[in-house]
C-alpha cells in the first residue's frame, strides 16, 4: 500500500511568488491535513480537508489556502511568499470521522525555501 506522497520534495521560491504543494493521501483516506514545521518550532496546524470541503483552519493568514480534489488529493497554495514561510510542509491523511488508533499517516514533506 502506497503511503502519503508529497511533491515536490524541495521547492525554492522568491519572496512575493506563489508556491503550490501537492499531496496524495493513502487510498481510502478522505481526510487530508496540512502542517507547517518551521525551524525550531513544532507542527503548526494549517488546514483540514475532508470530502472536498475545508473542515478547519489554523491560525494562518488567508494567503495560505488549499483545496481537495474529487480523488481526495490536495493542494496547498501559499501566495505572496515571505521569508518566514520557509519551512517543512507536512501532509497527513486519515479515515473520515473515524479516529484511527495510530492517528494520522504523514508524508515526508515538502521543504519550501523562500529567498
For another protein, the binding residue among 1, 53, 84, 98 (CB under 8 A) is: 98
What distance in Å separates the CA atoms of residue 78 and residue 65, rounded to the nearest whole number? 6
| The three cell numbers locating residue 79 | 501566495
48 binds another protein, rule: CB under 8 A: yes
Residue among 4 and 78 whose Cβ is closer to another protein: 4
Size of the site for another protein (CB under 8 A): 28
Q: Which residues bind another protein (CB under 8 A)?
A: 4, 31, 33, 35, 40-43, 45, 48, 56, 90, 92, 94, 96-99, 101-109, 111
Amino acid at each position: 500500500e502506497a503511503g502519503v506522497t508529497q511533491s515536490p520534495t524541495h521547492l525554492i521560491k522568491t519572496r512575493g511568488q506563489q508556491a503550490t504543494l501537492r499531496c496524495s493521501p493513502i487510498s481510502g483516506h478522505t481526510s487530508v491535513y496540512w502542517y507547517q514545521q518551521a525551524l525550531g518550532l513544532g507542527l503548526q496546524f494549517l488546514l483540514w480537508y475532508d470530502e472536498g470541503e475545508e473542515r478547519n483552519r489554523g491560525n494562518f493568514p488567508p494567503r495560505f489556502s488549499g483545496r481537495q480534489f474529487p480523488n481526495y488529493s490536495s493542494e496547498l497554495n501559499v501566495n505572496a511568499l515571505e521569508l518566514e514561510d520557509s519551512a517543512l510542509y507536512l501532509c497527513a491523511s486519515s479515515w473520515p470521522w473515524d479516529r484511527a488508533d495510530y492517528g494520522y499517516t504523514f508524508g515526508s514533506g515538502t521543504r519550501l525555501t523562500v529567498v
